[in-house]
Amino acid sequence: MAPDAFGCDDVGVAPWWSGPDHTAARRRMVDVQLATRDITDLRVLAAMAAVPRHRFVPASALADAYEDGPLPIGAGQTISQPYIVAFTLQALDLRPGGSVLDVGTGSGYQAALLAEMGAVVTSVERLPSLAVAGRDRLADLGYAVDVVEGDGSLGWPPGAPYDGIVVAASGPAIPDELVAQLGVGGRLVMPVGGRRHGQELVRVTRREEGTDGAVRESLIPVSFVPLLGEAGWSL
């Protein structure tokens, strides 16, 4: 069988999402997996209910598109667990019209959610194949996201300063390069810790100019793929 747009084999799963059930599945995801836990930001809940997660997973994973777990998207990457995505967006606390850098485009799902919430989104992806597929997928869905190719561990200086930066991979430390690209009052949310284990989600708020003016908070334990690049883990 031919690989799908994610580079994964299409195992012939019926497109159940093409019928009316996909709306109900998203609603159930929001009501059961998010709203009953500690996701209280109505903007986040509305975006999660609006963005079709099934459009961001390979055909082989369609049956699990709205389950609360990460899914492989090819190239050794994943689309994150819905709860963790929602928690991250809530921690970012971005206002409509705010500028945000999404590090690690992946499938494009998180960028779509940010755009749905009214953010001006730049998304940087290290892998050209994922950048191209993510750019096309977001455009097809009507999301105006600027997807660029580059080393996300170094951020994307041409778009700085940002009101928010969100990183979908775990680094050994928070890169100074990312903190420096936050505007004053901006927030960065990213996983930090081991290459595969012992990670925590961290929020950094830049209170004043210079990296010394950043306040760090530990949020929850997580497990992410490694952030590869000059300011992350070695390739």
Residues forming the active site: 80
CB 192 within 8 A of CB 199: yes
Order of all β-strands in the sheet with 162-167:
146-149, 120-125, 99-103, 162-167, 182-192, 199-206, 214-222
DSSP helix/strand/coil, 79? strand
50-63: string of b/e by CB count within 10 Å (b at 16+)? ebbbbbbbbbbbbe
Task: List the Cα angle 49/58/77 in 5-degree steps.
Answer: 95
Taking the CA atoms of 146, 150, 153 and 154 in sequence, report the sign of the dihedral they define. Answer: negative
Can you say whether residue 212 is alpha, beta or left, with left for phi > 0 and alpha for psi between -120 and 50 degrees?
alpha
* Closest to 75 (Cα-Cα) out of 127, 26, 112: 127
In one-letter notation, the amino acid at residue 81 is: Q
